[in-house]
Structure 1
Amino acid sequence: MTSKDNSVKARIRIGGDASGQIAVGNRITQTSTRIERPEVSDAELAELQALINDLRTRIATEAPPERRDGAVERVDELAEAITAEQPDIGTVRYVLNWFRDKIGPLAGAVRDLVLNPLVAKVVGAAGDVAAKDLERLLHDVMGA
């Protein structure tokens, strides 16, 4: 009868500035994937800011006077939520719902801003969690 030696004999030396995983054993396979986050240019940020300013202008002319101040505040919250280092998609959802409930005729303009590909790019640049949250929101918005 023969026996197989399943023991692992390894000599490992790591030097320099190293981080990450290491695996030692028999028949080990490791795969790593690097996801590149989109880079947002200054021109793209300026374009997004112009879209936000256009929405503010539209609110100033089309919102009922008794709702105008609140609408401008919601747009300020929306702009901050989208462009924050860690975007706040909950606030984006809140603002969309606020306009839908309070100033229905302008809800489409807010929705159009949120659906703009620049918003997805800016939020996506912040990381996977924010991008997934936005993806779920967009799915809900498109289904509504």
Structure 2
Amino acid sequence: MGEGGTGKRYRVETGDVSGQVVVGEDNNVVAIHGGPQDVPVAEGADLESLRSGFAALRERIDREAGKGADSARERIDELEEAVTAEEPEVSTMVYVRDWFAKRLPALAGAVTALIVHPFVGRLVEHAGDAVAAEFSRHFGGEGGDGE
């Protein structure tokens, strides 16, 4: 539902469908082809991109966080573990995002960018419907427009 509790309603009738059907606005669809054995594990270029993002954020923390740098680095360590876990820990992602929003808001956008990194999205999707639904509820689609 959109702001103010209002939402759009869609009536969809399909015939013989052999694939995905996406209805609505601002949908973010991630497709993984093949079985679980075909899903990439936490390695390769995408993981390197994510790790580089964490390294860059740690550098920003060192430059910008002042006396809160130690606590901020601890939260980033927690976040990195949460997003790369075999089953990503969405509650930790939410906690860390909220921690930065409250204590170091200038860095909150960079934290959210790591959470909604495409590689994290694939790991979340691979973890199953429950994890993906929780992630979507908190971070939404396109750019993390959740809570």
TM-fit CA distance, 1:125: 2.3
CA distance in 2, matches of 1:55, 1:76: 11
Paired letter, 2:109: G
Greater Rg over alpha carbons, structure? 1
- Write the deviation string for residues 18-59 of structure 1: whole angstroms up to 9, x where unpaired: xxxxxxxxxxxxxxxx98454345222222111111111111
Q: TM-score, normalised by structure 1?
A: 0.67
TM-fit CA distance, 1:91: 0.4
CA distance in 2, matches of 1:44, 1:103: 27
- Is 1:133 aligned to 2:139, yes or no? no
TM-fit CA distance, 1:124: 1.9
Aligned to 1:113: 114
CA distance in 2, matches of 1:43, 1:115: 16
Paired letter, 1:47: S
TM-fit CA distance, 1:107: 0.8
Aligned to 2:52: 50
TM-fit CA distance, 1:82: 0.5
Of residues 47-56 and 75-84 in structure 1, the stretch that sits farther from structure 2 once superposed is 47-56
- Write the deviation string for residues 36-89 of structure 1: whole angstroms up to 9, x where unpaired: 4543452222221111111111111111x2110000000000000011111110
Paired letter, 2:55: N
Aligned to 2:7: none
Q: TM-score, normalised by structure 2?
A: 0.66
Question: Is contact 1:87–1:130 with CA below 8 Å preserved after alignment?
Answer: yes
**How many residue pairs align between the two structures?**
110
RMSD of aligned C-alpha atoms? 2.2
Aligned to 2:12: none
Regions of 4+ moved over 6 Å: none
Question: Is contact 2:57–2:110 with CA below 8 Å preserved after alignment?
Answer: yes
Structure 1 residues not aligned, in runs of 5+: 1-33
CA distance in 2, matches of 1:124, 1:135: 10
Of residues 42-51 and 89-98 in structure 1, the stretch that sits farther from structure 2 once superposed is 42-51
